Amino acid sequence: MAQQEHSLNQRLSIREVEQLLSNASAVYSRSNKCSSSNGIDLSGLKEKFRRSGLAGLKSLAVTRAAHPHRTPPQVIDGILAISLEHPDWGCSRISQRLKSQGISISSPTIQKILITKGMGNRNDRVLKLEAKVLAEEAPLSAEQIAFIEKANPCFRERFSPSDRPGQILAQDAILVGFLKGIGKIYLQFVIDTYNSFAFGFLHPGKRPDCGVAILHNDVLPFYRNYNLTLQTIITKQGRAYCGTEKHHYELYLMLNEISHQKTPLHDRHGNGFTEQFNQTVLREFFKKSLNAKPYDTIESLQADFDQWLHYYNHKRSHQGYPNMGAFPADIYYRYFGQFPW
């Protein structure tokens, strides 16, 4: 009798109270849903509590049933198919589509499934679709192509691939910021479409000679060192690159027997490789660097940019077309059999 009274009056922590009552609730709830020897009715539960208190509920056995909401494999396959067919759709929209087909599944569950299958975000789905294209598994819809090209502008150039380094280069100049006492600072850059390898230098103003300078000082010497000629350079149609035969940029290309290809006049995007580099260099370098510290000279900014550019070419994984995860320098290594520097 004394032992029974001790059990009834035994002090319990909040955590213990929670566990005991949760256990009792689960057993009682299950007994109401199915006939089972492990169940207990309300009178049995009360009798156990009267004799042993809350501590007595510890002995109640909870039988774990199979999870009633486990997603069938065919539904998972359907989720993956919809996500690739409409890669820009969120989980709520996928859930609505399935509901119209008589399948009820929550957005959080869909998200968990997509994450498990390596398709949890838009970038994952871009890479999946690009891999399907390169493997020639299936043609893509206009919606899928637009989705990929928005995330990876280089994909627009897939129908004009380079066969070797230096065959097709793309060149552009962008405004990157202002320096006190100097004014507007532009980045002149050239991209090898064979592997996205980049060259670049900073300058004030925007003159044709700036476009010539990067070719003469950096780009041509690089390829000449390995007996490679430049075949084609792609630029936008603007006064910095286009003009008569007397135009300095046009004249320099002619002297070096380099073909000059121009993007359509009203094409707001331009070449996909220059658009991709434009987005990357502004996001990853200039927006961070110009806010992190003041620069008094172009030379000091150029020095920091050169360090970042080395990282971009040698250590930064380039996801998607054309590198598919490889560093630009690694692709050069495969071609030359050695690093060309």
In single-letter form, the type of residue at position 62 comes to V
Reading phi first (left if > 0) and then psi (alpha if -120 to 50, else beta), residue 230 is in beta
Residue numbers in the chain where pLDDT is lower than 50: 2-3, 34-38, 62-66
> How far is residue 331's CA from residue 225's CA, in Å, rounded to a whole number?
17
SS3 139: coil
Tell me the CA end-to-end span of the chain in Å, nearest whole number: 90
Helix then strand then coil, % of the chain, to nearest 5: 50, 10, 35
Q: Are 107 and 82 in contact (CB under 8 A)?
A: no
CATH 3.30.420.10 given to domain 168-336: yes
Residues 6+ apart with CB under 8 A from 286: 176, 177, 187
pLDDT for 38 = 47
pLDDT for 31 = 57
Instruction: Give pLDDT tens digits for 307-319.
Output: 999 999 999 999 9
Cα-Cα-Cα-Cα dihedral sign, residues 134, 135, 141, 147: negative
Residues 6+ apart with CB under 8 A from 258: 230, 231, 232, 233
Cα-Cα-Cα-Cα dihedral sign, residues 276, 147, 330, 335: negative
Instruction: Give pLDDT tens digits for 155-168.
Output: 999 999 999 999 99
* Domain residue ranges of the chain, discontinuous segments joined by +: 2-59, 73-151, 168-336
> How far is residue 283's CA from residue 315's CA, in Å, rounded to a whole number?
17
pLDDT for 63 = 43
Strands laid side by side in the 197-204 sheet: 197-204, 183-192, 168-179, 232-235, 259-262
pLDDT for 243 = 87
| Token pair in block for residue 213 | 């300078």
pLDDT for 25 = 75
> How far is residue 205's CA from residue 127's CA, in Å, rounded to a whole number?
38
Distances (CA, A) of 214 to 10, 99, 221, 321, 341: 84, 58, 10, 26, 18
